Structure 1
Amino acid sequence: MSGGVSKNTEGAREPPWLHVRREAFEYGMLPLPSLLHSDVVTGLRNLRVKLLQQAPSISTWPLSITANASHSTPASGGRERVGTEGIAAALEVAEAHAHLVLDTLASVLNEEGAGVDPLAITPVTEIDSVGADIDELLIFLYIQTYRRVPSRPHRGAADVADVWPSTSAIDGFLPALSSMQVRSSTMSRRSMPGQAEEEVNQLTYVQKHLPNLLNLLAETTEDEDSSIKVITAEQFEHLGLLLKAKNADMELVQLSQAAPFFANSDPDMPAAPVPVTQVLEWVQQHMCAASESLRETSLGKEEKVVKDVGPAETLSSEVVDVTMADATASPASPTPSNARTILVPNGVLHLSKDWRPEGMTFVDGIMKASVLKREDDIKGDSVKVAHCHDSVVYVLAPMKYVSVFGCSDSIVMLGAVGKAVRVEYCERVQVIVPTARITIANCRECVFYLGVNQRPLFTGDNHNLQVAPYNTFYPELEAHLAQVGVDATVNRWDRILTLGVVEPHDAFIHPASSPDVQTEGATQLPPEKFVTFSVPNWNKTDSDQLLTRANPFLLPKPYLLAQQHRCKAAEILKQNLRTALLEEGKKRELISAIHGHFRDWLFASGNIRQIYDLQALDRLDSSNSME
Structure 2
Amino acid sequence: MADEALDQPPDATPSPTPATPPVPATPSPTVLLRPRREAFEHGLLPIPKLIFPEGTLAQTLAQLKEKLAASAPDGRVRAAALAEALQIPQEQAALALATLAAVLPAEDPALGDGAVDGSAADIRDMLLFLYIQSYKRLVPRSAHKDSPVVADVWPSTSAFDGYLSALSPIQLVRSNSRRFMPSQADEEIHQLSYLQKHMANILTLLADSVEGDGDDSLVLTMETFEHLGFLVQFSEGTSLSQAATFFACSDPDMPDVPVPAAQVLDWMSQKIAFSLEYSAERSAAKESNQQTMSDLDVTMAEANTSHPRNSTPSANPAYYRNVTFVEGFSKTSVVKHASDVKGNSIKVLNCHDSVIYILAPLKYATVYGCSDATVVLGAVGKVVKVEHCERVHIIAAAKRICIANCRECIFYIGVNHQPLVLGDNHKLQVAPFNTCYPQLHEHMIQVAVDPSVNKWDQPFVLGVVDPHDSLSHPAGVSDVKAESATCLDPDLFTNFLIPSWFGDERQGTTNRNPFPLPEIYGTSQSKKRSALEDIQKMIRELQLDENRKRELATALHVQFKDWLYASGNIRQLYCLQGD
When normalised by structure 1's length, the TM-score is 0.76
2:60 equivalent to 1:43: yes
Name the counterpart of 1:500: 463
User: Deviation of residue 227 (structure 1)?
Assistant: 5.7
Name the counterpart of 1:298: none
After superposition, residues 444-523 of structure 1 pair within 5 angstroms as 444-502=407-465, 506=470, 515-523=478-486
Name the counterpart of 1:566: 528
Cα separation, 1, equivalents of 2:181 and 2:251 = 47
Name the counterpart of 2:109: 118
74, 79, 89: which is aligned to 1:84? 79
Per-residue CA distance 1:571-595 (angstroms, 9 max, x = gap): 1111111112334333322222221
After superposition, residues 303-452 of structure 1 pair within 5 angstroms as 329=279, 335=285, 339-340=289-290, 357-452=320-415
Distance change (3 Å), C-alpha of 1:88 and 1:522: same
Distance change (3 Å), C-alpha of 1:549 and 1:109: same
Check the 8 A contact 1:378/1:397 in 2, yes or no: yes
User: Deviation of residue 94 (structure 1)?
Assistant: 1.2
User: Deviation of residue 520 (structure 1)?
Assistant: 1.0
Cα separation, 1, equivalents of 2:537 and 2:50 = 62
Check the 8 A contact 2:422/2:464 in 1, yes or no: yes
User: Deviation of residue 455 (structure 1)?
Assistant: 0.7
Check the 8 A contact 1:449/1:471 in 2, yes or no: yes
User: Deviation of residue 361 (structure 1)?
Assistant: 0.4
Cα separation, 1, equivalents of 2:197 and 2:476 = 37
Name the counterpart of 2:210: 221
User: Deviation of residue 600 (structure 1)?
Assistant: 1.4
Name the counterpart of 2:270: 285
Letter in 2 for 1:551: N
User: Deviation of residue 568 (structure 1)?
Assistant: 0.9
2:556 equivalent to 1:594: yes
Distance change (3 Å), C-alpha of 1:230 and 1:337: closer
Distance change (3 Å), C-alpha of 1:16 and 1:265: farther
Check the 8 A contact 2:46/2:466 in 1, yes or no: no
Cα separation, 1, equivalents of 2:560 and 2:283 = 61
* Local SS of the residue matching 2:430: strand
Cα separation, 2, equivalents of 1:226 and 1:461 = 47
User: Deviation of residue 597 (structure 1)?
Assistant: 1.5
Count the aligned residue pairs: 519
Question: RMSD in angstroms over aligned alpha carbons?
Answer: 3.3
Cα separation, 2, equivalents of 1:25 and 1:540 = 34
Name the counterpart of 2:194: 205
Task: Name the % identity.
Answer: 45
Check the 8 A contact 1:162/1:189 in 2, yes or no: no
User: Deviation of residue 448 (structure 1)?
Assistant: 0.4
User: Deviation of residue 223 (structure 1)?
Assistant: 2.9
Cα separation, 2, equivalents of 1:241 and 1:388 = 31
2:155 equivalent to 1:149: no
Cα separation, 1, equivalents of 2:7 and 2:27 = 15
Check the 8 A contact 2:169/2:405 in 1, yes or no: no
Cα separation, 2, equivalents of 1:471 and 1:40 = 45
Per-residue CA distance 1:504-532 (angstroms, 9 max, x = gap): 9856689x998534311101111111100
Name the counterpart of 2:5: 2
Cα separation, 1, equivalents of 2:126 and 2:473 = 35
2:504 equivalent to 1:576: no
User: Deviation of residue 500 (structure 1)?
Assistant: 1.5
Name the counterpart of 2:147: none
After superposition, residues 19-58 of structure 1 pair within 5 angstroms as 19-38=34-53, 39-55=56-72
Letter in 1 for 2:552: L
Per-residue CA distance 1:549-590 (angstroms, 9 max, x = gap): 111111110011111111111111111111123343333222
2:573 equivalent to 1:611: yes
93, 108, 124: which is aligned to 2:103? 108
Cα separation, 1, equivalents of 2:315 and 2:503 = 39
Per-residue CA distance 1:183-236 (angstroms, 9 max, x = gap): xx6994376334332222111111111111011111222237886322221221
* Local SS of the residue matching 1:428: coil
Letter in 1 for 2:57: V
User: Deviation of residue 270 (structure 1)?
Assistant: 3.0
2:125 equivalent to 1:136: yes
User: Deviation of residue 267 (structure 1)?
Assistant: 5.4
Distance change (3 Å), C-alpha of 1:158 and 1:286: closer
Check the 8 A contact 1:411/1:431 in 2, yes or no: yes
User: Deviation of residue 425 (structure 1)?
Assistant: 0.2
* Local SS of the residue matching 1:87: helix
Letter in 1 for 2:170: W
Name the counterpart of 1:63: none
User: Deviation of residue 22 (structure 1)?
Assistant: 0.3
Cα separation, 1, equivalents of 2:477 and 2:186 = 31
Letter in 1 for 2:41: E
Distance change (3 Å), C-alpha of 1:288 and 1:428: farther
Distance change (3 Å), C-alpha of 1:334 and 1:366: closer
Mark the runs of 5 or more structure 2 residues left unpaired by the alignment. 9-23, 144-159, 293-313
Distance change (3 Å), C-alpha of 1:265 and 1:37: same
Cα separation, 2, equivalents of 1:101 and 1:469 = 25
Cα separation, 1, equivalents of 2:136 and 2:260 = 30
Distance change (3 Å), C-alpha of 1:514 and 1:253: closer
Cα separation, 1, equivalents of 2:98 and 2:164 = 38
Check the 8 A contact 2:102/2:383 in 1, yes or no: yes
* Local SS of the residue matching 1:150: coil
Name the counterpart of 2:261: 276
Cα separation, 2, equivalents of 1:225 and 1:446 = 57
Cα separation, 2, equivalents of 1:333 and 1:197 = 8
* Local SS of the residue matching 2:320: coil
232, 240, 244: which is aligned to 2:229? 240
Cα separation, 2, equivalents of 1:515 and 1:574 = 58
Q: Please identify, of 150-159 and 465-474, the stretch whose mean Cα deviation from structure 2 is larger.
A: 150-159
Cα separation, 1, equivalents of 2:389 and 2:214 = 61
Check the 8 A contact 2:165/2:473 in 1, yes or no: no
User: Deviation of residue 464 (structure 1)?
Assistant: 0.3
